[in-house]
Amino acid sequence: MLPPTDAPIGTTPALIVVDAQGGSPDVGTDSPMTSDSGSLPGGREAVIEQINEVVGHARDADVPIIWGKEVHRPDFADYGAEYDSCEPEHAIAGDDGTRLDDRLVVDEDELPPAEYVVGKQRYNFFHRTDIDHILRTYDVDTVILVGFMTHICVHYTAHGAHEHDYAYRVVEEGTASPTQELHEIGLRMLRYLQPRGVRNRDEVTAALDDYEGNPVVRRVKETGLVHPDTGPVQPLDGDPDPLRPSE
């Protein structure tokens, strides 16, 4: 449920990195999908630096991290209504652009404990993915959002979080759009939906530094499992084995 608080990261946060894709920095720099306009100078590279900063604080704070990626089938069987979008074809499986940006502080083939890659076929990461299952496993009430684009996938994922009764905190410096106008429109819509929902990086990272840590994340880091004692249920003394046919 939404926490009734103005806290920069809520009570039990998770970090979602939205569509920070592109593989090599040299790939697609002339594409209309490139997002260089944000709330600080320096373009996409500066935003990636902000994302890495937030990720570092979240890791140190024992916060679950979800690396989200949009990926479509090469024959466009799952492209759906995006055919009617003004965006060019994008995020096709097998393209270099579906890999996480090489400048991010992550290896998607060897993720740290309590970090996950979640794929999606729509702008909203809550649409027909397992992200809600993961968040509930960690008893999350607030999602911290960084990534691309402010007015599309960040906005729609925030809307999905809102509809699932999560608070969201978009790190303003950690997101961008292809134009400054679209970035500003995205921020306005995010603030309209949840007035506490757009925060600056410093208050988010300071709150992460003060956070006591998610106990399930610590358990996963220590044991490799959410529930290390989970296994076959043993019958109580005197009860028949439920897996054995009765005589």
What the chain holds in terms of domains, given with CATH numbers, is: 13-214 (3.40.50.850)
CA distance 13 to 8: 10
pLDDT winner (highest mean) among 69-73, 178-182, 236-240, 241-245: 178-182
- Token pair in block for residue 236: 């109580």
Task: Give the least confident one: 27-41, 42-56, 119-133, 166-180.
Answer: 27-41
How many Cα atoms are found within 13 Å in the side-chain-facing hemisphere of 32? 7
CA distance 2 to 168: 9
Q: Which residues contact 39 (CB under 8 A, 6 or more apart)?
A: 172, 173, 183, 187
Q: What tens digit of pLDDT does each residue of 72-110 get?
A: 656 655 555 565 565 656 656 566 677 888 899 999 889
Average pLDDT estimate for 221-236 = 79
Listed residue (230, 241, 219) closest to 62, CA to CA = 219
CA distance 148 to 47: 9
Tell me the whole-structure pTM to 2 decimals.
0.86
Query: Residue 188's CB: how many other CB atoms inside 10 A?
Result: 13
Mean pLDDT of the chain, nearest integer? 85
**pLDDT at 29 (0 to 100):** 47
The one-letter amino acid code at 216 reads V
Provide the pairing of β-strand 167-177 with 37-38.
Answer: antiparallel
